[in-house]
Amino acid sequence: MDQNEEEDALLCIAFSPQSPRTMTLDTPDELNVQLKSSKQIKLDVGGYKFSTTLTTLTADPDSMLAAMFSGRFMVEKNEDGCVFIDRDGQYFHYILNWLRNGTLPPIENQLEREYLLVESKYYQITSLNEYLLAQEPHNHKNNDPTEKFTLKELLQLVNNVPTGRKLQLPSADMRGLNLDGISLQGANIKFAKLDHATLQYANLQEINGQNARFNHADLQNADLSLAQMPCCSLQHARLNNVNLQGANLAGADMTNCDLQGANLQGANLQGAILQGANVQYTNLLGAKLHGASLHGITNVHHAKGLKR
C-alpha cells in the first residue's frame, strides 16, 4: 500500500458483538499513525455517515469516543473506508455539535431529548449528560414529577413505528397504565418505569428492558421470551404463567415476585435476587442460577429444574 492509500484507509472500530463484514485488524501503533495522517475521519454510525476530525472526537478526554480513538485498542478496517460505530446514528450529529462547540441546536421534542440522553450516556460525555438532565421538564416546573405517558400517546407511538424500526421508549414513564394485550416486541424500554402497570397477555418478546422497573406490575400470561432485562426490578410483580424462556435477567431484583407456572427455561438468572419468590410449577430447566439469591423462595418442591 502506497502513502496515499494509507492516508485514505480510515479505520473501522467496531464495538459490537459481531461485525457484519469481513475486516482486518491493525495494531494500536498503526492506528496512531493513520489517525494523525488523516485530515478527515469518516464515520458510519448505524448507517448514518459523518465527517469530522480527531480533535472533535477527543474533545472530551473522559468520553468513550476519546478512548476509542486514543490508539490503545486493536482496530478493524472495512471496505467502505470509514469508522463504523454500532449505535443509533440518528442522534449522533448532536453528539458532534456538542463536542465541537459545547452547544446544541434546539430540541423541542422531549422524547428526542431522552433518546439523545441515552446515546450521551453510552458515549460517557458527562457535560452533555448534565446539560440534558437540566433541561428535563421537572427541572422547570416547580419540581413537578416528569409527565407520564397517557395510554393514547403510547398507542399513537406504537401504531406509528415505521416498518423495520423498533419502538424507542428509553426512560419512558408508563407507571400504572393498563397495557393488557399490547405488542411492544423488540422495543427499547431501557430504564423505563412500569411500576403498577398492567401488561397481561402483552407481547414483550425480545424487548430491551435493561434497568427497567416493573415493581408491583401485573404481567400474567405475558410473552417475554428472549427479553434482555439485566438489572431490571420486578419486586412483587405478578408473573404467573409468563413466558421468560431464554430471557436475560442477570442481576434482576425479583424479590417476592409470583412466578407460579412461569416458563424460565434456559433463562439467565445469574446474580438475580429471588428472595421470597413463589416458584410453584415454575420451569427452571437449564436456567443459569450461579450467584442467584434464593433465600426464602416458596414451593420449591413443585419447581422444575431447581435442585432441592
Q: Give per-10-residue mean pLDDT for the chain (308 aa).
A: 38 38 47 54 88 90 84 68 85 94 84 87 86 67 56 87 84 92 94 94 96 96 97 95 97 94 96 94 95 90 84
H or E element, residue 48:
strand 48-52
Q: Is the pTM of this model over 0.75?
A: no
Residue with cell 427499547: 188
Same domain? For 172 and 34 the reply is no
Same domain? For 194 and 221 the reply is yes
What nine digits make up the cell of 173?
A: 414513564
Same domain? For 130 and 259 the reply is no
Domain boundary among 94, 121, 147: 147
C-beta separation of 33 from 1 below 8 A? no
Domain boundary among 121, 147, 173: 147
Whichever domain contains 29, its CATH number is 3.30.710.10
CA of residue 191 relative to chain centroid, distance: 8
Q: Which domain holds residue 270?
A: 151-308
Note the pLDDT of residue 68.
Answer: 81
Note the pLDDT of residue 23.
Answer: 44
C-beta separation of 218 from 201 below 8 A? no
